[in-house]
Chains A and B, each alone.
Chain A
Amino acid sequence: MHYHPLTADDRREMLEAIGVKHFEDLLKGIPSSIRARDLKVPEALSEMELRRELEATGKKNQGSKSVLSFLGGGSYEHFIPAAVPQLMGRNEFYTAYTPYQPEASQGTLQAIFEYQSLIAELTGLDVSNASHYDGATSLAEAGLLALRHTGRRKLLVARSVHPDYRQVLRTYLEAADFTLEEFGFEKNGKFKRKEFQELLNEEIGGVVFQTPNFLGTVEDLDGVAREIHALGAPLILAANPLSLGVLRSPAEWGADMAVGEGQVLGLPTGFGGPYLGYFAVTRELMRRIPGRLAGMTMDQEGKRAFVLTLQAREQHIRRERASSNICTNEGLCALGACIYLTLLGKEGIREVGELNLDRAYYLREKISSLKGYRVEKDSPVFNEFVVFSEKPFSEIQSRLIPQGILAGIDLSRYYPEMKGAFLVCATETKSREDLECFVKALSQC
């Protein structure tokens, strides 16, 4: 086996040094009744054979590499500069463990520190952790934090928050014996302000909005933070970080916590993972934030140094009294996001946001002029929007797949009342030709 260096001679010498005759002597503690017999796993393949097989299996997928995809809904195709995967792939980053020995991990630690700084810039909030598993789990942990902080038991959540996120949130909350209540959205995708206000009371330990929300609508949260804060609860905002070069930031909306999916910052859609959840809070909540934090300090000689800090919150110190059970974060993905944002810089983050707006508005306008389709023009959007069609979406989809087009996401699957509605996404990756090809194909459905 080409990963295993021990030779027959090595093995013999080592057994001798250990003082046993046979390898089996080392396993005497395992009751014979539970010794494994044959492993029912195929025999090994050489790298050449395996690669051939994997290429063939890959061909059974139709990703955006080979088709024109207009899917969004929490995972987005964006341009990834070539330097991002190359730098992420540096062995010294890739194959290091969590930076428990700061002297031997300054590379990872400084990168985390810079990642935290970048997320703080984007969200406008004071503190970011080193990342979470994904957007959904970030939101769930934010919900738990809010309820523990306020000592209340119920969370109020917009129904326009990503359905998977709400399901994960519900799973986490129910496990901790908390509950959640939802308020709806208007036809144009904006949250129902009146319903939100009616449900808001002193029992609510936190309120969750997403912007742009699952329907692509950029929410107008004017006055919302004030109303929530008046009742002593925090505002949790799930925001698309790539939109924050142009869209109003969580801090500007008065949010206490900002969370969301960081895949858009330089990572491929990759069938749903690994991604990263970003997680930022105000200074007031700093000591309650779950997960790892890197901080700046000095070494014995007064040199700048980076360490994991405020670890008194964490499971390996506090065990059953920890603020979360999380230990692994998404270090490498956060590094990718850090490199991506550093490459984009101040101008790039604004430009990419503008390009997303441009492509989405152009496509929406074109589709709105087609017969048989309708859009809500008074819904402000970033890079995706709802299309209402007279035909069931399944019919459109099955006509377009053979043409190499993935048209969007069937919304009736998540919101049964939205029959014929589907979610269409156009990012900066789409050229005029791509969009025109899609519009033409839709018109012929």
Chain B
Amino acid sequence: MLIDPESRLSFEKSRSGRRGTQFPKERLSGKEASKLLPAALLRKEAPQLPELTEPEVVRHFVNLSKKNFSIDTHFYPLGSCSMKYNPKVNEWAAALGDFASVHPLQPEETAQGWLCIFYELEQDLKAITGMDRFTLQPAAGAQGELCGMMMVRAYHASRGEHGRRKVLVPDSSHGTNPATAALLGYEVVQVKSNARGRVDLEELGRLVDGETACLMLTNPNTLGLFEDEILKITEKVHKAGALLYYDGANFNALLGITRPGDMGFDIVHLNLHKTFSTPHGGGGPGAGPVGVKEKLIPFLPVPLVEKRGERYGLNFEQPQSVGRLKAFHGQAGMILRAFVYIRTLGRTGLKQVSEDAILNANYLRARLKTIFPVAVDEPCMHEFVLSARTGKGNDLHALDIGKRLLDYGFHAPTVHFPLVVPEALMIEPTETESKETLDRFVEAMTEIRKEMDRKPEIIKNAPHTLPIRRPDEVMAARTPVLTHRDWLRENAQQAPAESNERVAVHRISER
């Protein structure tokens, strides 16, 4: 294995005796720490953490960061992820000492500022979605789904309807939908999409019955299309006594345009890290507040935030509650950032978010559809899906096109999802991208389309300009090396005479 200097692990840069931080020397108890506890409770073998100075640690992580694509450096049209600009004033607010230094178990009277933010965000989310009450506790969209589906179960159980063991999901749904329903012991039934990419009403009619607990739906769906028969869908499901769950992953299209509460949904989760601009952080933290209609309020997790006169407080008294999903009160820092975002945009700005997101998506769709076929050729909402199938008999896939885009300085779209479209490229530009950026993206896609015919191998082997070429994922799964220790063991087995490091340096100087 060749190891560039920049891909050496902190452990490999470690030198015994170096340190990256200093603690006070003063000891108060007058005893050595090892004498304060019985020896049986003390660690025998010290953890082998790396030993580096602060400047070495800083250089290590700054150089690592430079190997990433991110919103602040690149256009990132990753479908269904709403990779929009993350405003810096959000971060300013979250770093304020008067918020960041508060302990979650402080007496309520010493945390009124935080409780006020929780309360106010709930009011805003209610107005935006048309729901009656929110919990801000769930840590992410997937946990919001879990919370919502727990309430579905509790609701039916409270009515003695224990026979409702089926959950319906469209075949275009996110993987978390069926995974969540299955976690709760539900039988997952897929509803086929029709030729227009929407839920097939007839098929839905056949599948929904007295054993159905819920239909989980994203609207706009994962093709970026508004389910225009939504009112018939919700009516059909409700008529069978089942509930409707709204997966808010695609909410960025709906701010000030329409509300899931008005469509007839009973439960909604929102991803604050998508629509409400909190940073994705390389895979979280997110936040997945869940809103419900009146009849489901008793089942919300505890505690709920309430306003009593001029004071804010926590209510733990919910006898029918599904329980608790997280220690303390939720992803407070994300809740604060989302609140700041909503206040920055206000009612007019929020509507502009969705309008521009829709306009940007439709513009890209219109320009790209002459290059690659659109899954369903009609106006989309905030995103759309192309098919990379060209029918030319080459061995190029959506994944390859995504990889080639990296060479052009764009993050790849979501590829091979939704599963209902062969060779899917799912593109979501968001509202914070300029027309110039979109035009450059179109140019890149045009070039790539030409390359597909003329030099397919350049695409098949892309990317060529990034810190690494395509990694061997099969090898990673077959012989998992998941820690530095694994690597030491693996490396010892291969035992090359010359150290790997030196080989790498040698090779680099040859270039």
A332→B284 contact, CB < 8 A: yes
- Give A115-141 interface residues, CB cut-off 8 Å to B: 116-118, 120-122, 124, 126-128, 130-131, 133-137
Residues of B within 8 A of A311 (CB): 477
| Cα–Cα, bound, A61→B128 (Å) | 28
Q: Write 7 A-B pairs (CB below 8 A) sorted by A numbering.
A: A66-B97, A74-B105, A244-B47, A273-B329, A306-B471, A325-B145, A332-B279
* Interface segment, one of B80-88, B205-213, B444-452: B80-88
A63 touches which of B95, B98, B414, B432 (Cβ 8 Å)? B98
Interface residues of B in 1-49 (CB under 8 A from A): 1-4, 7, 9-11, 14, 18-21, 23-24, 26-29, 31, 33-34, 36-38, 40-49
Specify which chain A residues have a CB less than 8 angstroms from the CB of B475 in the assembled complex: 297-298
Q: Name, among B106, B340, B346, the residue most crowded by chain A CB atoms within 10 Å (CB to CB).
A: B106
Closest to B263 in A: A34
Return chain A residues, CB-CB under 8 Å to B96: 54-55, 58
A269–B97 Cα gap in the complex (Å)?
Answer: 11
A300 touches B (CB below 8 Å): yes
Contact A316 B175 (CB under 8 A): yes
Interchain CB contact under 8 A, B332 and A57:
no
Does the CB pair A104–B68 fall under 8 Å? Answer: yes
How distant is the Cα of A131 from the Cα of B283 in the complex, in angstroms? 10
CB nearest to A212 among chain B residues: B41
Task: Write the A46-61 contact mask toward B (1 if CB under 8 angstroms, else 0).
Answer: 0100110111011111
Assess whether A330 is interfacial by the CB under 8 Å rule: yes
Residue of B nearest to A361 (CB): B29
Query: Considering the chains assembled together, what is the distance between the CA atoms of A69 and B431 in angstroms?
Result: 43
Which residues of B sit under 8 angstroms from A301, Cβ to Cβ? 2, 469
What is the CA–CA distance of A120 and B11 in the complex, to the nearest angstrom? 13
Chain B residues, CB < 8 A from A234 = none
B469/A299 in contact, CB under 8 A: yes
- Answer yes or no: A225 CB below 8 A from chain B CBs: no
A17, A65, A327: the one contacting B140 at CB < 8 Å is A327
Q: Are A302 and B2 in contact (CB under 8 A)?
A: yes
| Residue contact B285 to A332, C-beta cutoff 8 Å | yes
- Interface bits A4-27 vs B (CB < 8 Å: 1, else 0): 111000110111011110010111
Contact status of A83 and B179, CB under 8 A, knowing A58-B113, A107-B66, A274-B334: no
Chain B interface bracket (under 10, 10 to 19, 20 to 34, 35 or more): 35 or more
B285 contacts A330, C-beta separation under 8 Å: yes
Nearest CB of chain B from residue A347's CB, rounded to whole Å: 6
Q: Could you mark each residue 82-118 of chain B with 1 if its beta carbon is under 8 Å from any beta carbon of chain A, else 0?
A: 0111110101111111111111111101111110110
CB within 8 Å of A: which of B147-188? 150, 153, 174-176, 178-185, 188
Q: How far is the CA of A298 from the CA of B7 in the complex (A)?
A: 12
B403 part of interface (Cβ distance < 8 Å)? yes
Q: Return B296 CB to nearest CB of chain A, in Å.
A: 16
Contact flags A67-111 to B (C-beta < 8 A → 1, else 0): 101010111010101010111011111111111111111111011
> Which residues in chain B, 435-493, are within 8 Å of chain A measured between CB atoms?
435, 461, 463, 466-473, 475-477, 480-487
Q: Pick the most buried of A14, A89, A130, A380: most chain B CB atoms within 10 A of its CB.
A: A14
A296: interface (CB < 8 Å): yes
- Of the listed stretches A149-157, A181-189, A194-202, A333-341, chain B binds A333-341
Q: Is the beta-carbon distance between A380 and B70 smaller than 8 angstroms?
A: no
In the complex, are the beta carbons of A303 and B4 less than 8 A apart?
yes
B238 contacts the other chain (Cβ, under 8 Å)?
no
**Contacting residue for B99 out of A45, A100, A101, A271, CB 8 A:** A271
Contacting residues of chain A (168-189) with chain B, CB-CB under 8 angstroms: 168, 170-171, 174-177
Complex Cα distance, B117 from A25, in Å, reads 37
Q: Does B199 contact A (CB under 8 A)?
A: no
Q: Do A357 and B284 form a contact, CB below 8 Å, given A39-B347, A41-B342? A: no
A305 contacts which of B94, B228, B349, B468 (Cβ < 8 Å)?
Answer: B468
Q: Which of A31, A295, A303, A343 contacts B57 (CB 8 A)?
A: A343
Q: Does A248 contact B (CB under 8 A)?
A: yes
Are A66 and B127 neighbours in the complex by a CB distance under 8 Å? no
Given A325-B176, A328-B141; A349-B283 close (CB under 8 Å): no
CB pair B282 A245 closer than 8 Å: no
Report A409-445 residues with CB < 8 Å from chain B CB: 409, 428, 431-432, 435
B72 touches A95 (CB 8 A): yes
* B-side contacts of A4, CB under 8 Å: 349, 352-353, 356, 431-432
Say yes or no: B98 contacts A65, CB within 8 Å.
Answer: yes
Are A303's CB and B139's CB within 8 A?
no
Contact between chains at A103 and B470 (CB < 8 Å): yes
Q: Are B9 and A101 in contact (CB under 8 A)?
A: no
